[in-house]
Structure 1
Amino acid sequence: MSIPVGLSTSCLFPRGVADTFSTAADLGYDGVEVMVTHLLDSREVARLQRLSARHNQPILAIHAPTLFWTQQVWGSPWQKMERSAQLAAELGAASVVAHPPFRWQKQYASEFVEGVRALEARHGVEVCVENMYPWRVRGREVEMYLPHWDPIPHAYDHITWDFSHAALAHVNSLEAFRELGPRLRHIHVTDGFAGGTADSHLLPGDGDQPVAEALEFAASSGFSGIAVVEVGTRKATAAGEREEWLARSLEFTRRHLGQS
């Protein structure tokens, strides 16, 4: 079965969710991952259903509002997770992407593994915990996540892997894919440079992560999850440049998944 390649709504930020659906359709993506934010059309079932139907783009995944800058969306940590799982189920999305708890969310963190499994059972979706990275302040690492930014050693059944985050954490993604095995269920296709200071979300192939090799390994080892392009395009200035970057990212992903 061909691995679906989706487009994240974060790629078109700060433009609206509707632009992501139309761009994904124009460029030939297989669907959309919706990141829940303060925008109404990122979290209302009826609006998302209309966009999906209008552009013939299925909603492949919901990204829960568990980022630092979405702390005000949908209330408490468990409310965010519950509503994200419910939204995914109502929209027919296979998975929910979630960041690990922040270090100040100690009660939430202590219940996280069991709570995620309960959500999956209740709503019939996979909650894929994403790899993060240590924050660096004045040259020193600061641990911002509990139990850790690296999901590999922890008892998560389903994991999202982000190449840009791996670059910041100085982690080799190909080795991570080998270690994760069937727990790898969701891939954020992007890139970055080791030693960088910002989560750059470069186009795949523009950094020093082994993105091509990791995708090829995933395809050859029976990966049956979802790959989603999640790259930054805010620096695009020329007409059509953003669309060119997203088309290039789609071609790169499909080629290294053995689909072209």
Structure 2
Amino acid sequence: MPEQPLTLAGIGDEAGAALTDQLAALSTLDWTAIELRSVGGVALADLDERTFAGVADAVAGLEVVCVDSRIGNWARTVTDPFGDDLAEFDVLARRCATLGCRYLRIMSYPNAGLGERDWRDRVVERVRVLAGRAERAGIVLLHENCSGWAGSHAERVLDLLDAVASPALALLFDTGNGIAHGYPALDLLREVVAHVAHVHVKDATGGGEHTVYTLPGDGDARVADCLGLLFDHGYRGALSLEPHLACVPHEGGGVAGDAADRFVAAGRALDGLVAGLFAGQRG
């Protein structure tokens, strides 16, 4: 079977807090790419310089497909100090350069009691400033369909892209976020697929506080349909596994002891989905 023309990767800390565990899980899957969010339970931007240098050395043989920031995420509302985001951006821009990574994940700021228009305008202004910095740094911000003003509405996503109008802003599509946040992700994807530059893969059932995460393909997120739509539109970037089987960052808590085993099982399920889709295309 010919090699499928894209990269399979994983958000490392879903396989374990320690970088050694993260790398071991990827090695078990025979994957050569990683997405970095935290190491040892510490966000990448908060690692001291010596620790980060060790991380950079350890992943030197891998492709770092994306770095996940906390900018605009569930922990930072649109009225929280913007200086915190700018400071994190500056650290991560330097670290992306060291890692040879082009993509930096952001979100679009949960509200804090503002009116709809004010919320939108503040989000646009913040992302415009960040995108300007990203252009100068030679990196691309990836807005994820998760927390924030443009997290779950295609028309808002497109409005954000149009209003910021920067080559340093594109989209990260997560296949499973629609289950947890209460919207059909495939419908959103149909409207924004031309702007997707990176993909997270997870699956789930239920919804809201009753969300239960599953192996890719076993839930209700229509993962195979999402991937098929992406492939049909020419997407050949990375698929980065974020199964949430052993940790759910926004819910707090640590990583389950069997995180690596769960991550590997999810990775093998993703391998199977991708192989099946490409086999179907060749047929």
- Indicate whether the TM-score tops 0.5: yes
From the two aligned structures, give the one with the greater helix fraction. Answer: 2
Change (3 A) 1:256 1:170: farther
Instruction: State the match for 1:242 in structure 2.
Output: 262
Change (3 A) 1:249 1:82: farther
| Alpha-carbon displacement from aligned partner over 1:104-162 (angstroms, at most 9, x marks no partner) | 496963522312321331121221011115xxxxxxxxxxx346554524323411112
Instruction: State the match for 1:2 in structure 2.
Output: 5
Contact residue 66 and residue 105 of structure 2 kept, 8 A: yes
Instruction: State the match for 1:16 in structure 2.
Output: 18
Instruction: State the match for 1:80 in structure 2.
Output: 88
Instruction: State the match for 1:255 in structure 2.
Output: 275
Choose from 206, 210, 233 the match for 1:221: 233
Once the two structures are overlaid, the 10-residue window that deviates more, 206-215 or 1-10, is: 1-10
Question: Partner letter of residue 34 of structure 2?
Answer: V
Question: Partner letter of residue 210 of structure 1?
Answer: R
Instruction: State the match for 2:65 in structure 1.
Output: 60
Question: Partner letter of residue 175 of structure 1?
Answer: D
Q: Secondary structure at the match of 2:209?
A: coil
- Matching of residue 124 in structure 1 with residue 138 in structure 2: yes
**TM-superposed deviation, 1:32:** 0.4
Distance 1:155 1:191 in 2: 26
**TM-superposed deviation, 1:244:** 4.1
Instruction: State the match for 1:35 in structure 2.
Output: 37
Q: Secondary structure at the match of 1:26?
A: helix
Contact residue 11 and residue 34 of structure 2 kept, 8 A: yes
Percent identity over paired residues = 19
Instruction: State the match for 1:155 in structure 2.
Output: 160
**TM-superposed deviation, 1:99:** 1.8
Question: Partner letter of residue 35 of structure 1?
Answer: R
Change (3 A) 1:166 1:190: same
Work out the number of aligned pairs and report it. 245
Change (3 A) 1:241 1:165: same
Question: Partner letter of residue 268 of structure 2?
Answer: R
Computing the radius of gyration from Cα coordinates, the structure with the larger value is 2
- Matching of residue 49 in structure 1 with residue 56 in structure 2: yes
- Matching of residue 178 in structure 1 with residue 183 in structure 2: no
TM-score (structure 2 length as normaliser) = 0.72
Q: Secondary structure at the match of 1:131?
A: strand
Distance 1:98 1:238 in 2: 29
Q: Secondary structure at the match of 2:142?
A: strand
Q: Secondary structure at the match of 1:128?
A: strand
Contact residue 101 and residue 108 of structure 1 kept, 8 A: no
Structure 1 regions of 5+ residues with no counterpart? 134-144
Distance 1:239 1:168 in 2: 21
Distance 2:203 2:86 in 1: 30
Distance 1:220 1:23 in 2: 30
Contact residue 25 and residue 264 of structure 2 kept, 8 A: no
Instruction: State the match for 2:128 in structure 1.
Output: 114
Question: Partner letter of residue 21 of structure 2?
Answer: D
Change (3 A) 1:239 1:94: closer
